[in-house]
Structure 1
Amino acid sequence: MEYHLLTLLCHTFILSIALIFLFSNAYTFIHKTPPHIPEVHLPEEPFLLVASALTLELNQALKLLRDIASGRNPKKFLMVIAASWVLSIVGSWCNFLILFYIAFILLHMVPVFYEKYEEKVDLFAEKAMVEIKKQYAVFNVKVLSKIPIGPLKTKKV
């Protein structure tokens, strides 16, 4: 259909506003009282709490990104680069809405499958972690240990 989500929401909003407008004006032509549209009033406190919590989370995420980008932890740096590369490949296959749908389905299916096949998954995960640690040790010796990492200089203001 190639009908995007934002376009659908906007068209639905336009249609509903137009229908309410038409019905309100139609009632005046037939000499009836227009329908009562209730006034919506949202409290301010929950929005402030959400904004405060989001600010704390964003600050922690920015601190983590700064630590990763500064080169203090090469393991995390390589994991972020690899994850971004994989996400860019997957993102080129389909649009964001499909990715969101797949993630939603997986978030509901994975715990059920894990409970059903817990022993097999744990055994496979242990073997995978041992192999990953071996490969990282080889990579660390051959590549990462040869990269000079100096102290982080701070700017004087």
Structure 2
Amino acid sequence: MPIYSSSSDSEPETAPVTKLFGRKRPVHAVLGGGKVADVLLWKNTKVSAALLIGVTLIWFLFEVAEYNFVTLFCHISMTSMLLLFIWSRVAEFFNWNDPRIPEIKLVESTMREIASTFHARFDQILSKLINVACGKDHPGHFILIICSLYILSVIGTCFSFVNLLFLVLLSIETLPFLYDRYEKEVDRLVYKAMRRVRKMFNSFDSQVLNKIPRGPIKDKKKY
């Protein structure tokens, strides 16, 4: 699917700006329209802020403090157990109430919704890549995906896995919200950029690619 539905080079400057990636639904519906979309678009501010703070804290502990997972897990477990033990003994000595530990349960429906949303998006991306690789889509998309993967591989060599994962999660937490808030401005800027890229490609195609000599096409012999 093209990024923009219109591909004419003679498109007037006053042409209506189309939505990013040619979408017709609002951003909330594109993201699934459920609790996951509410979190990514900061409709549920407390959960979104807690998730962002948690991801940042994990990144800080692993990348800045240079913890590894086993050491961090053991230290957190030891500290928690030590605090609970001291609290229980002090409460027993002074006849206070025992510490109340809230029971933590993961709602099954929420987990299924998150898994279903990511599964649908992953399946959609995988199908798109397979169609492009098999030549069932526009050839320009094949070149665009190859260049994007190459750029991503270069970025991967500049960052550790933890840093790269943190940047991805940070982008997921912020970019949909910013786009939803400044949708018209972003669509207008991307639209203008795509028109310029399209004009450059058409100019390159007419001045370079079309001037490459091609041999005569021979008819296949019929037996």
TM category, shorter = 0.5 to 0.7
CA pair 54-91 structure 1, distance change in 2 beyond 3 A: closer
Q: Where does the alignment leave 5 or more consecutive residues of structure 2 unmatched? A: 1-62, 216-223
The residue aligned with 2:204 is 135
1:62 to 126, 130, 135: 126
The residue aligned with 2:10 is none
Question: What amino acid does structure 2 have at the position aligned with 1:80?
Answer: I
Q: How many residues align?
A: 142
The residue aligned with 2:142 is 77
Indicate the SS of the match to 2:148.
helix
Q: Where does the alignment leave 5 or more consecutive residues of structure 1 unmatched? A: 147-157
Partners of 2:124 and 2:162 in 1: CA distance: 27
1:18 to 81, 84, 96: 81
The residue aligned with 2:112 is 48
1:3 aligned to 2:65?
A: yes
1:86 to 151, 154, 171: 151
CA pair 125-63 structure 1, distance change in 2 beyond 3 A: closer
Partners of 1:136 and 1:9 in 2: CA distance: 56
RMSD: 4.4
Asked if the contact 1:27/1:34 (under 8 Å) is kept, the reply is no
Normalising to structure 1: TM-score of the pair? Answer: 0.59
User: Identity percentage over the alignment?
Assistant: 19
After TM superposition, list the pairs within 5 Å mapping 1:136-155 onto structure 2. Answer: none
Q: CA deviation at 1:129?
A: 2.8
Q: Once the two structures are superposed, what CA deviation does each residue of 1:78-121 show, in whole Å capped at 9, x if it has no partner?
A: 11110111122222223355451885798488987x94xx68x8
